[in-house]
Structure 1
Amino acid sequence: MANWHWQTRQGQDLLTCDLLQDWYHGFFTRQFWPQTPETLTAALDATAAVQRVKQVHGNQVLAPADLPVPDSAEMAEADGLVSDRPGQALWVCSADCSPVLIGDRATGQVAAIHAGWRGTAQVIVPVAVSKLQAQGSRLEDLVVAIGPAIAGEVYQVSVDVAAAVGRTIIPQSLGSPDNDEAVLADLQQRENSPVLGDDAPGKVRLDVRLANRWQLEQLGLRPEQVAIAPHCTFQEGDRFFSYRRTGEKQVQWSGIVSQGAATH
């Protein structure tokens, strides 16, 4: 199991994961608010070029070459970035959604993804993996850290929301039942299910982090290639903003810097 560590940068704590030890990276806390990637990048690698997008809860994943020129007033709409050269700091923000950072141990390239339930239902993380593969990545070389997000036991959603996510992880050989309840009943029978019961009619609990792990393992990644942070944004209000908890649009940032091809 991968270990997670608190590191001090700019006098505040950020979270790192052993799986990504080859890269400058961090899952920042609310204490860094209201800083943006333009200043936060210095906490990782002051020489890196900042890359960010306007997040829209979709499944668009872009490379820096796809983005408007620096200093442009425009910002591309997307929810994921993949690097296309070394020295790029890729950033996503979140307040309950899952921030996902990916590194390729062979090529040094990386990805940063904002995966809420909508993006997860649109398989944004597998989309990012496919873009990395198109740039030469092999599945066996990837490592994935899913950062602090709302935990399943406290994330109540409607049945249709959970079913939309659930359909992405039911084996294709079984088909995808039309009935939402049937989808959830199928998932709840499985070990380590991302869907938990709820006492309220028409509601269940959904662990989006686990759904993303399921999607990655179904792509062919091994369990040891994927780590989920043991921190919940909703339950740890001293460290993290949570939209579900407060209704306020405040975020914490997560970033990773691409490297050159591995030499080890």
Structure 2
Amino acid sequence: MGAVTVADQWHWQKWEGRPYLTCELLEPWHHGFFTQAFAPELPENLVRIFHPEIPAYRVKQVHGNTVLTPHEINWEGEHFSPADGIVSTASQQAVFVATADCTPALIGDRRTGKVAAVHAGWRGTAKRIIPEAIQKFLDAGSEIKDLLVALGPAISGEVYQVSTDVAVEMGVSLGLQDLADDLDGMLLALENLLDSPILPDDEHEKVRLDVRRVNQLQLEQLGLDLGQMAIAPHCTYQQPEHFFSYRRSNQKNVQWSGIVSR
């Protein structure tokens, strides 16, 4: 993944003795990619690490591509509104997403101070949820050149086995719709990409998938350059001392990631 994965952009911080990650790219904003050490605390408590009395927003995550603003989020029965991303509309709004192997993306506009938090698993990535969030910024007056995106700890491609059908969906999300019905052609096209998001697997009709790399490619297609992106050098599956992993444990535990608008 080239320069965007340099580890020295990512720093361990501590709050009450518990570790969480920050990214230099997002230094203008209070933010954090929290570890399992903060479980089972919810954003309503975690936001105090950033500010003692600002609102924290979250949604009921459904592996889709809906991105809401804080005023669009409602409490519906037992859950908040179904969505997988939140884009701020005012200053001092904290937005959070939960992940356990999926990619947490925190986005900031260095000109306006607006931010977003996005939950991007393979299903959301196939539906281009991060580009959907970027479009929300653009609709509100942001420019591509001002956006910064940090992709936090997630399962890494070397250990994430998926079916070849999932690889096809990734290819379609990258504009390779013409190969949707040509499995061999799609896999070849994906393998020929620079720093391919697809790695071989010994099992028939399986591959290894780097979801963060697919998201990075989608962002590059939108016009973001490598200096506007950072990818955490951490794998949720391979670092049980820090992160929950659904693929590793088959248990529905999550860690939160959040950022505060300026």
Q: Same fold (TM over 0.5)?
A: yes
Unaligned runs of 5+ in 2: none
Q: TM-score, normalised by structure 2?
A: 0.94
Deviations 1:10-35 (A, max 9, x none): 32111000110000000000000111
Number of the residue aligned with 1:117:
122
Aligned pair 1:217/2:223, yes or no? no
Judge conservation of contact 2:44–2:55 (CA < 8 Å) in 1: no
Q: What's the CA shift for 1:46?
A: 2.1
Deviations 1:78-123 (A, max 9, x none): 0000001011100000000000000000000001000000000000
Aligned pair 1:99/2:104, yes or no? yes
Number of the residue aligned with 2:34:
28
Deviations 1:232-252 (A, max 9, x none): 000000000000000000000
Number of the residue aligned with 1:154:
159
Unaligned runs of 5+ in 1: 260-264
Aligned pair 1:39/2:45, yes or no? yes
Which deviates more from structure 2 when the two are superposed, residues 2-11 or residues 221-230? 2-11
- What is the SS of the residue equivalent to 1:153? coil
| Root mean square deviation, CA, Å | 1.5
Q: TM-score, normalised by structure 1?
A: 0.94
Q: What's the CA shift for 1:72?
A: 7.8
Q: Distance in 1 between matches of 2:166 and 2:79?
A: 32
User: Runs of at least 4 residues of structure 1 off by over 6 A?
Assistant: none
- What is the SS of the residue equivalent to 1:254? strand
In structure 2, what residue type is equivalent to 1:255? G
Judge conservation of contact 1:96–1:243 (CA < 8 Å) in 2: yes
Aligned pair 1:257/2:256, yes or no? no
Aligned with 2:64 (options 58, 69, 77): 58
Equivalenced residue count is 256
In structure 1, what residue type is equivalent to 2:57? Q
Judge conservation of contact 1:57–1:79 (CA < 8 Å) in 2: yes
Q: Distance in 2 between matches of 1:88 and 1:10?
A: 23
Q: What's the CA shift for 1:180?
A: 2.5
- What is the SS of the residue equivalent to 2:13? strand
- Determine what percentage of the aligned residue pairs are the same residue: 53
Aligned pair 1:18/2:24, yes or no? yes
Q: Distance in 2 between matches of 1:72 and 1:49?
A: 20
Q: Distance in 1 between matches of 2:154 and 2:219?
A: 17
Aligned pair 1:186/2:189, yes or no? yes
Deviations 1:23-51 (A, max 9, x none): 00000000001111010111122232110
Judge conservation of contact 2:105–2:150 (CA < 8 Å) in 1: yes
